[in-house]
Amino acid sequence: MSELREIDARGPRWSAGLTAIVLSVALVTKSPVVIAVQLVQFGFGAFATPPKSPYGILYRKLVQPRLPKTFESEDIRPPQFAQGVGFVFALLATIGALSHTWPLFTVATAFALFAALLNSVFGYCLGCKVYLLGVRLRHR
């Protein structure tokens, strides 16, 4: 929905923390189901919006009511972009798990875990680092 442009900035940080836990479980169990759960989360976050993703809904129902009412808001586009990057890695990891290509699964999941940790601990802005370079490469 295009009218929703500003969201509670704590939501994506919390979701990234949950993502890091789910990805760690995926690495330990090598379970296609666990990595597929994360793939679905990234899919909703990227192609719907972060607040409409499963973790976004969990945040609003369970976490936000327990936090202070005043909060920093942020533009929805940076976290949505980051979910899109996550989707690509989770897709590769899911393909790796389903086809038993374990190096692909492990590397893709480890990269996604690295990005999720940076996001949850530091509020790292992935779009700031990679988006402009991507545009520069596409329009040579």
Partner 1 sequence: MVTSSLIIGVIIAALVFGAIERSRAGRIKNISKGKHVIDASDIGTELGLVATILQFSSAFCAPCRITRGTLSSVVTSFSGIKHVEIDAEKNLELVRKLDIRQTPTTLFLNSAGQEIARAVGAPKRDQVISALELISHE
Residue 120 contacts by C-beta under 8 Å, 6 or more apart in sequence? 13, 14, 16, 17, 19, 20
Interactions with partner 1, residue window 5-44 (CB under 8 A): 9, 24, 27-28
Among 4, 75, 99, 100, binds partner 1 (CB under 8 A): 75
CA distance 88 to 71: 30
Among 37, 48, 58, 117, binds partner 1 (CB under 8 A): 117
Torsion of Cα atoms, 95 then 42 then 82 then 3, to 10°: 150
- Point out which residues pair with 6 in neighbouring strands: 75
Among 22, 74, 92, 108, binds partner 1 (CB under 8 A): 74
Binding region for partner 1 (CB under 8 A) out of 34-42, 62-70, 87-95, 111-119: 111-119
Beta strands in the chain (DSSP E): 6-8, 73-75
Per CB under 8 A, residues contacting partner 1 are 9, 24, 27-28, 74-75, 77-78, 80-82, 106, 110, 113-114, 117-118, 121-125, 127-129, 131-133, 135-136, 139
